[in-house]
Structure formats: C-alpha cells, structure tokens
Amino acid sequence: MPTYQLFATTPKAMETILTDELQALGVKNIKATMAGVAFQGDLATAYRACLWSRTANRILLVLSSFEVKSQDDLYKGVQKINWFEHINPDDSFAVSFSAKNSAAINNTHFGALKVKDAIVDQMRAKFQKRPNIDTEQPNIRINVYLNGENAQLSLDLSGESLHRRGYRDVSIKAPMKENLAAAMLLRSGWPQIAKQQGSLIDPMCGSGTLLLEGAMIAADYAPGLLRDYFGFTGWKKHDAECWKALRAEAEQRKKIGLEKLPVIVGFDQNRHTVNTALAHIANAGLQNKIHVERRDIEDAEPAESWKPGLLICNPPYGERLGDEQETAELYKKFGETLKAHFIGWKAAMIISNPELGFRLGIRSQKPITLFNGALECKLLRMDIEENNFFISKAKTQEERIAQVTEISKAQEQRIAKATATTPQPETTGAESVGAEMLAYKDVGEGRELGAEMFANRLKKNLKKLSSWAKQNRITCYRAYDADLPEYAVAVDIYQAEQTWVVVQEYEPPKSIDQHKADQRLAGLLAEIPRVLGISRDQVFLKIRRKQKSTDQYEKHGDQGRFHIIEEGDCKLLVNFEDYLDTGLFLDHRPIRMLIQKQAKDKRFLNLFAYTGSATVHAAVGGAKSTTTVDMSNTYINWAKKNMALNANEGTHEFIQADCLEWLATEAQLANRHYDLIFLDPPTFSNSKRMDEVFDIQNDHVQLINNAVSLLSPGGVLYFSTNFRRFKIDKQALSNLTIEDISAATIPEDFARNPKIHYCWRIQE
C-alpha cells in the first residue's frame, strides 16, 4: 500500500489527547498543530483512525499542496489532479473550503465554487458528463484549506464529523459532543479505572453521552462501528477488503470487551432525558449493560456492591438567565453528596465558571482546559478523600456583599475615631492631595492601607467629570474605572433628587486572597461616602464576575425600589438593589442620544431591548412608531413603565419574545419595515427559553442579515456588542455598507476603557 500524508482535525485544546490516541494505534511521524495532528500512513492506517479515534473530528488524506496568489491559481491547482482516479463522471461530490490570511480569496463560498468548477470542467471535458453535487452523503468530500498563499487539497475520509457515532437521535440537541465526552473520560483516567473494574457513575447523565462513551472505552468498542457512512466508501481507490477486515477485527474486540464491562450507571432527575438516554443506549446495543434511572442529585449514591471508580458529569454552567444562585446551590449539594457517599472514588466535571468548583468544598488537581463548542471550560479532577475537603471560602454574592459591608462599617468607625483627634486639611479638590496624605499618615489602622490613594483619585476624577457632566446635562456617569490596579472597581454616579453610587467590583486575580480582597473593597466603600458627602445607605455594592451571557438579567433581590433619573430629556427608572445592572447601560448614552436625534418621524425597532431606554429616546425624539422586543417579561414591563414616564406621540408596541426567533420569523414574513434599528445582543446565551445556544461571534452574520432585511430603503441599523474579542465578518457581510462608529460612541466618562463596547452603522 502507498503511504499518504494524513491530517486529523480535533477541537482546540484536544490535540495532545488525539496525538496519544494515534500513537496507541501505531501511527508514526506524528506532528501536532493547532486544532489537529499531521501524520503519515497507508490506507489501513487512515481507516483505523476513522474507525477508532474517539477525539478526532475528521481524517483528511492530502492530495496536493500548491501556491494560490490569484483565483486562477486555485482553479489550476485543483485541475492538476486527475479526478477520474477518485470518482466517476456520474458520481457525486461536495466541497468544503476555508481560508485564513488570504489576499486572493476571502469568501469561502466563492472558493468552494471555484474548486467545484475546476472538477466539473475537467470531467465534462473528458467524458461530456459532470458529477453531481451532494452535500449530505456524496461519493467523496473534498476539503481545501487556504492559509495565506498555501493551499492544501484533501479528501475527507470521514465524510461527516467523527463525533457522530450513530447512536444519538439527531433530532435531540446534545449539551456536549461525543468527542468532548471521550476527552473528559480519557483525561480523567477512566481507561485505567475500567481495567481494574472500577465503576462509572454520571449523576446528571442527561442524554447519556458520558455513559455511552465510557462504556465504549471500557469495552474496547470502536466508536466508528455504528456508522453506516464514511467519506471513503464511495471513493474509487477505496480498499473494501481492508475495511472489511478492520471492521471484523473491531467487532471481535467489542464482543470480548462487552463480556468484562464494569458497572456503569447514570442518574437524572428529568424523566424525558432518562428516556432519551435509554433510547441512545439501545441504539448502541448496550441495553442491560448501562443502568439509568430517575434520581435527584441528593439521592445519588452507589450500591454497596459497586466497586469505587469514577464519578463524572457535565453539570449546569449557570449561564441561563437568573440561574446563578440556583446553580451555586446545586454545586453545594453535589459536594455534600460526594463527601457523604463517594469516599474513595475519583470525580471529574467540566465547568465554565471555575468559581463554582469551590462550592464543592473538595480540592482538585490542576484544571485542564477544554472547549465545549466556543465556550472555554475547565475539567476538574478530584480525589474524594476526607483529607482533601475544605470549607469553601466562596460565598454567594449576597453573602459576600453583606460581609464586605460589615467590614466597611467597622472601618468607617475606626476612621471616624482616628480622624476625630487628627487635624484635617482645610483645602479641597486637587490641590489638597498632598495635605490629605499628610493628614492621614498618623491615622494608622483607622484607614485601609492605600485607600487614601483611591479617595484622591476619585476626587480628581470627580473634579474633571462633574463640570463636563453639568455642561452636557448628564446626571449619571462613571467616575472611576479601575484607575488603580489595586482597586479594580467601577464607580458610577446617579443624580436626581439625591445622589446614589453604584460600586461594581471586577473579579480579582486568583492569586489574590479573598480576605485581602474583601478588606480592600471594604476600605474603598468606607471612603466613598466621605468623598461625596453622602450617607453610606446611598452606596450600593455589586460583585461582578467574568461577563456571562446575560449578567444584566440576574436578579439579586426583591426590594422593588425604583428611582427616576433624567437623560437627554428622557425620564428613566433605575434600580440599585435587585439586579446586577441598574436598568441603564451608561456606556450606551451616546448611541441613545444619536437615536433620539435621528428618530423624528421614523419607525424604530429595539432588539434585545432590556429596559427599553433606547426606545424611550426614540419616542422622545419624535419617532412615528416604536417596537420593543425582549425575552424577559420583567424587562418588557420595565420598558412600558419607562415609556409611561415620558410625554410622547406615536404608537408603541412591546413584544415579549426570543429576539432571535422573532427576528428570523419576521425576516421570512417580510411584513415589517423600520427606518431605524438598534441591535445590542448578549455575547452568549443558552437561556432555557431559547431553543438554540447563541454565540455572538458565530451567529452575528445571520443576526445582522435578518435585521437588515427589516430595514426600509435608506434605513439604518446600529449594531453593538460588548464582547471584547469580537471581530465583525465583513467578508460574509460584503453586500452591506458597514461603518465602525465605536470611537464616536464611547463617552467621555468611559474614555479610560475604549473597549467597553463596539458599534457599527450598517446600511444596505
């Protein structure tokens, strides 16, 4: 058999696992790269990788590499291959094309068409017939990857992604792909545990992916055995006898392996997912080999006859709207269950928020980075032993806020006592900085170390911003934004009948002890009332962590106290106690003012509207009509109340709906048209009210196209995102006029943080 250049693709961060797999299959000349592994081998080697790899996505057989400096270079490079060696004139094929850093071709659809044309033209010229295009199950699938000026042309031997084992009901969306589940098990030491007949338990098994992958690993069950289609089966050079022999060997290994399968059990509290798991187990021919039952996490415990082994799961990440507190409690219960019933076991779980791991109260090994789709996650691995337990320092936001507040009050009392006998400077403002430093040098423990530096910086900022705010009639603005690294907070001022201050703490580095962070936070909270001359009750603390999909929707209390503030002739309601955000995103002030100026006699649409502040600005600006769409009934009602505060004309429609679904439907119906649209979606969301996971980087092209389809001739779409690593795909949106107006929409009070959001003006 000839030797081929081969390449196996895999999700990012799984390259090392795939390398180990290929080495175990006897593959030589392996070289790991980003999201893949290059290797060499004959057809048997390639087939074996397709049949046995648990972590690869695709196995590519490289046909040629060539230089592409123009579109013609791509066409000619593809035509150099004698395609009759690979398919017959009446066969079918499909093309997948991707490009990176290419000046010649930056449109993947165009590139795929160019490749298709080269093949079709060659076959038609030789045989007066052309092969057909079949995107589902073609005879061969061709893959072209263009990196700069270097193109690699390959046959996709897998045909479709290898994570599709063949046991899953394709109509059911899985929370994780099968190759990620396999990677978790391999990284958690399951193969060694299974050889020793250790048990496998998934206490939150969902549709059973981890159980099935665990059983296949333990039984030496090739993950490709259930598949009835591979990309090489319709290839003219396919060696059917070799493939038949490899499958026969795999069937024999599976038969032997199933006879010594250890105990594998899954629990889940949801009846529907239990039934789904049982169906998948039956599809894999593993009925009576894997036990699944409906059981709550608190009742998850092993039978006495089960040998200690591995407990593994993919628990909820707390990404859904309003779920953070509920998820934190679930992790706490889970930790208690592990400590009570699983001493002597090993445990592993994948999480997106490492802080939740502390809720378990069990020390873990160094976390391993993996990706669940586009979401970066950590695989935690733990030994469930009594000497490995700890009392979790991580608290709920409410608990920590209460604790910091108490520390702050104690510091205020010490400051008051110390300063009562210390001469105070008579000067104020910027010129008093040196005097104040002297005044406080003998205060001692009455003041948190370094807090005076924060106070002086806040004073300096206020002196500058207060005149700017007054001149521009701005009543709510950011006065401080992590100016000093030691005091990583944002301080926002809200002014109406009185002054309120909202302090948001950014997540401190993991190297900072929480007790020290609390002391420092309490210190600055003690300074703010003194600097601003307000009561401590007018200062509100928020504990902000790494931005999730919808932090603004998280409910933290139920006080129901609202205050009216003014912005650009608009009256708006804010709430300082019940939510992480107040109901008004201050950094969007310029775009709201722009909408107000441009809204006269316009039809305005506000998508992902939150509390509808942009809608109010449009209405006050004289919009003929407005439509406000948000998934949350709470925020739709808030938007209605905001509108009711303001005198305006026109008709105003408020719609509670999944914005993605609503927009897609309206784009198809084409019954609605708007002159002005504001689109400010979350970065990521898998809300329980949404059918699909939303990722702004992956999904923005379709989202923008749907929104643009509702624009009237000459209409304008303003699209904004606060995802700092966001890159707008102008290539995919080349039919639109796109103007980056981010700099013009960053207000003066956010100038220190120019990446707070990005904004574009888009027209057809």
**Of 43, 14, 45, which Cα lies nearest the Cα of 27?**
45
The CATH number of the domain holding residue 585 is: 3.40.50.150
Same domain, yes or no: 205 and 344? yes
Q: How far apart are CA 564 and CA 494, in angstroms?
A: 10
Least confidently predicted of 212-226, 379-393, 546-560, 683-697: 546-560
Same domain, yes or no: 733 and 605? yes
pLDDT over 80 (residue 112): yes
Question: Are the CB atoms for 642 and 636 separated by under 8 Å?
Answer: no
pLDDT at 360: 86
Backbone angles phi and psi of 63, in degrees to 5? -90, -40
Same domain, yes or no: 282 and 195? yes
Q: Is residue 434 part of a domain?
A: yes
The CATH number of the domain holding residue 93 is: 3.30.2130.30
Question: Are the CB atoms for 116 and 80 separated by under 8 Å?
Answer: no
pLDDT at 318: 65
Q: What is the mean pLDDT of the chain?
A: 88
pLDDT tens string 208-238: 999 999 999 999 999 999 999 999 999 999 9
pLDDT tens string 32-76: 999 999 999 999 999 999 999 999 999 999 999 999 999 999 999
The CATH number of the domain holding residue 466 is: 3.30.750.80
**Of 340, 360, 336, which Cα lies nearest the Cα of 348?**
360
pLDDT at 386: 78
Q: Would you list the DSSP string of 283-335? A: HTT-TTTSEEEE--GGG----TTSPP-EEEE----S-STT-HHHHHHHHHHHH
Same domain, yes or no: 669 and 598? yes
pLDDT tens string 410-449: 566 555 655 554 444 333 333 322 223 223 333 334 454 5
Q: Is residue 696 part of a domain?
A: yes
Which residues are CB-contacts of 515 (< 8 A; sequence separation ≥ 6)?
393
Question: Are the CB atoms for 261 and 284 separated by under 8 Å?
Answer: no
Identify the domain boundary among 514, 546, 578: 546
pLDDT tens string 492-527: 999 998 999 999 988 776 666 676 777 788 888 889
Same domain, yes or no: 541 and 419? yes
| Domain around 637 | 563-763
pLDDT at 438: 28
Strand pairing class (58-67; 150-156): antiparallel
Backbone angles phi and psi of 720, in degrees to 5? -135, 150
The residue length of the chain stands at 764
pLDDT over 60 (residue 728): yes
Token pair listed for 191: 């193969």
Least confidently predicted of 80-89, 219-228, 360-369, 394-403: 394-403
For the segment 21-41, the average pLDDT, to the nearest whole number, is: 94
Q: Is residue 725 part of a domain?
A: yes
Q: How far apart are CA 720 and CA 675, in angstroms?
A: 17
Q: How far apart are CA 611 and CA 574, in angstroms?
A: 9
pLDDT over 60 (residue 682): yes
Q: Is residue 452 part of a domain?
A: yes
Confidence of residue 452 (pLDDT cuts 50, 70, 90): confident
Q: How far apart are CA 246 and CA 536, in angstroms?
A: 74
Identify the domain boundary among 334, 355, 388: 388
For the segment 230-247, the average pLDDT, to the nearest whole number, is: 97
Same domain, yes or no: 431 and 474? yes
**Of 244, 225, 217, 201, which Cα lies nearest the Cα of 43?**
244
Confidence of residue 692 (pLDDT cuts 50, 70, 90): low
Q: Is residue 113 part of a domain?
A: yes
Q: Is residue 322 part of a domain?
A: yes
Extended strands (E) in 485-580: 489-495, 499-505, 539-543, 563-567, 570-574
Q: How far apart are CA 57 and CA 178, in angstroms?
A: 10
Question: Are the CB atoms for 680 and 608 separated by under 8 Å?
Answer: yes
For the segment 730-741, the average pLDDT, to the nearest whole number, is: 96
| Residue with tokens 């026109």, as numbered in its chain | 650
Q: What is the pTM of this model?
A: 0.56
Q: Is residue 552 part of a domain?
A: no
Identify the domain boundary among 353, 388, 423: 388
Token pair listed for 692: 């699909």
Total domains, the chain: 4
> In angstroms, what CA-CA distances link 338 with 190, 282, 311, 383, 574?
18, 29, 9, 10, 43
Same domain, yes or no: 635 and 698? yes
> In angstroms, what CA-CA distances link 234 with 164, 238, 600, 679?
19, 7, 62, 46
Count of beta carbons in the 10 Å neighbourhood of residue 154: 23
Same domain, yes or no: 302 and 372? yes
Same domain, yes or no: 445 and 511? yes
Rank 360-364, 412-416, 639-643 by mean pLDDT and report only the highest.
639-643
Q: Is residue 236 part of a domain?
A: no
Same domain, yes or no: 491 and 583? no
Same domain, yes or no: 334 and 462? no
Same domain, yes or no: 348 and 373? yes
Residue 593: half-sphere exposure toward Cβ, Cα within 13 Å: 16
Top-confidence residue, 91 or 441: 91
Count of beta carbons in the 10 Å neighbourhood of residue 492: 22
